[in-house]
Structures are given as C-alpha cells and as structure tokens.
Amino acid sequence: MRIKQTVPQLHSCLWLLVVLAEMACGTALASDQTIYTSTSNQALKQKALQIVQSIRALVDAYNKQDRELLAAYNKKDQPKLKAEARKALRDQWREDSDAVHEAAMRSYRDQYWAEAILLRNELYRRLPNQPKSKDIAMIYQIPTNMLGIRMIADHLELIAKSLPDS
C-alpha cells in the first residue's frame, strides 16, 4: 500500500522539477500555447484521428477481455453447484472483471488522457462556433468507465472532422 502512495508523489515531484527547470531555462511555453498551437489544421486533424483510433482499440480490447471472462464464468456456472461455490465463482469473476477494467482505465490515463484534452482544447480554439458542453468536458477530465472513454473518442472524432484542412 505504501508503494502505491509513493509512486504518484514521486511522479508529481518529478513533474514539478521539469516545469521549474523549463521555466528557469526560458523554454516553457506561454500559458495559452501548447505543442499543437503551431500545428497545421491537417496535421492536428490527423493526430486527433490517430488518438481516436488508438482509444477505440483500447476499448475494443477491454470489451473482448470482459466478454471472455463472462463466457468463462458462464461455462463454469452450473445449476448443480452449491450456493457457496456459485457465490465464490461469481465473486472471482467480479474481481477479475474489475481488474481488467482498472487496467484498461489506467492504460487510458497513462497513454491518452492528457493528449485527448490537449487536442480537444486546440480543436475548440480553432473552432470557436463549436458548441462546448460542460458535461463532455467533465468526462474528458474524469472518465469513470469505458463508456466514457468511448464517448471521448466519439467526441474527439466529431470535432476533428469539423476542422477544415486549411
């Protein structure tokens, strides 16, 4: 348990050191600029659609694993099993399913979370007439499950395709 608490603290400290070093060297970006500020519309759209494709692959892999776990559970769940055995089997399936879900959510957070937010913000900056829902902004910030992550992919694709190539 102690290791789980120490790793995020170490990550936060390292991030702070990097930001301070960039500021000291004068290489930090201005507060209104990101790595995508000077990217062309076409390149930005392409990057957003690549991220969408990767996020959907993650969701599809999760769904496949979850279906396989359920099929294995259903195969083992026999009417002739005693109530205690059925409960233990169900509890094990639930634990395994939760572990697969948590691994997929962690993968999203580690690989795509920040990138999706940066891309969404830059696309919104370039599409000032695009409606901005507070609900979708919250889902980008704190996705709670794989349905939310799929919603992020759908929304990011929609606004990326709204961006003109020029």
Q: Give the list of residues 6+ apart from residue 79 with CB closer than 8 angstroms, or none.
A: none
Q: Is the pTM of this model over 0.85?
A: no
Q: Whats the size of the chain, residue-wise? A: 166
pLDDT, tens digit, for every residue of 17-43? 555 555 555 444 446 788 999 999 999
Residues 95, 19: one domain? no
Per-residue pLDDT at 95 exceeds 50: yes
Residue 160 banded pLDDT, cuts 50, 70, 90: very high
Q: How many domains does the chain have?
A: 2
Residues 20, 64: one domain? no
Residues 24, 75: one domain? no
Residues 68, 101: one domain? yes
| CA gap 92, 122 in Å, rounded | 44
